[in-house]
Amino acid sequence: MIQVRFAGLGGQGILLMGEILGEASVIEKKYVGQASSYGAEARGSACNSDVVISDSWIDYPEVTEADVLACMSQGTYEQNKTKVNASSGIIFFDSQMVKPDPASSLKHIPVPATEKALTELGNRMVANMVLLGAVVKALNLVTEESLRQALTSRVPPSLLKLNIKALALGFELGRIREI
C-alpha cells in the first residue's frame, strides 16, 4: 500500500492530479481511496488531494501518513512536510514554487514543473500534469498508458493534446530522477 498526497493552491489543478492517478490505478485493477480537501474558495485556497493505492481492500482510505508528498506551493509544503513518513517518505516539489526546508532530513526531489510547462509548452496551467508525470514515472506507480487513458476520460478534448504533452514532459523528468 502506498499513500500519496498532492498539495497546492486552488486553481493549480491539484484535485485533478489525485483523480487521474486514482483512475489510472483502477484501470490496473488496484484498490484505491481518493479524497480531497479544499477551502470554500474555488481559487487560491489550500487544497490536498490524497490517493491510497493497494493490491487489496483498503481499511482506511485516507492518507494518515504520506509515503509521497507532491507539492506545488510553499504554504502547503509547510503544512504537510510533517505529515510525511519520517523514515521512508519522499517529497517532490515544484522547484519554482517551493523552497525546501534545509533542516528537513526527508528525501526531497525538485521537479521544474512550472518552469518546463512555461518554457516548453508555453502554458503554466499544465504544470500539474508535468509534476504528476514525474512522480508516477519516478516511483512506477502506474504505467504511462494507464495514466494517459485516465487523463483522456477527465480532460476536455480541446485540452487533451496539451495535457498529454505535459505528462510526457513529466515522464522525461521522472525517468531522469528514477530512484
Partner 1 sequence: MPIQRKKIKSSLAPGWYFMQGDEACAEGAIAAGCRFYAGYPITPASEVMIRMVQRLADIDGVFIQMEDEIGSISSVIGASWAGAKAMTATSGPGISLMTEAVGYAVITETPCVIVDVQRAGPSTGQATRPAQGDIMQVKWGPHGDNEIVALAPWSVQEMYALTIKAFNYAERFRLPAFIMADEAVGHLRETLVVKEEVEVWDRYKAPGLPPFGTEERNGVPPMPSFGEGANLLVTGSTHDSWGFRKTADPAVQARLTERLVLKVRDFKDEVIETESYFLDDAEVGVLAYGFTARAALQAVKRLRNQGMKAGLLRLISIWPFADEAIIKLGKKCRVIFVPEMNRGQVAGELKKYTTTPIISLPKTNGEVIEPGEIVEGIRRNMA
Question: Which region, judged by CB under 8 A, interacts with partner 1, from 1-9, 16-24, 70-78, 136-144?
Answer: 16-24
d(CA 140, CA 2): 12
Does position 149 interact with partner 1 (CB under 8 A)? The reply is no
For residues 59 to 88, the per-residue mask of contacts with partner 1, x marking binding by CB under 8 A and - elsewhere, is xxxx-x------------------------
Closest CA to 71 of 1, 147, 139, 127: 127
For residues 33 to 52, the per-residue mask of contacts with partner 1, x marking binding by CB under 8 A and - elsewhere, is xxxx---x------------
**Which grid coordinates belong to 146?**
494507464
**Of 31, 95, 100, 120, the one binding partner 1 by CB under 8 A:** 31
Does position 22 interact with partner 1 (CB under 8 A)? The reply is yes
Buried b (16+ CB within 10 A) or exposed e, 94-132: bbbbbebeeeeebebbbbbbbbbbbeebeebbbbbbbbb
User: Which residues between 85 and 114 bind partner 1 (CB under 8 A)?
Assistant: none
Does position 145 interact with partner 1 (CB under 8 A)? The reply is no
Chain-centroid distance, C-alpha 128? 7
Burial class (CB in 10 A: 0-12, 13-18, 19+), 54: middle
Q: Which residues bind partner 1 (CB under 8 A)?
A: 19, 22-23, 25-27, 29-36, 40, 58-62, 64, 150
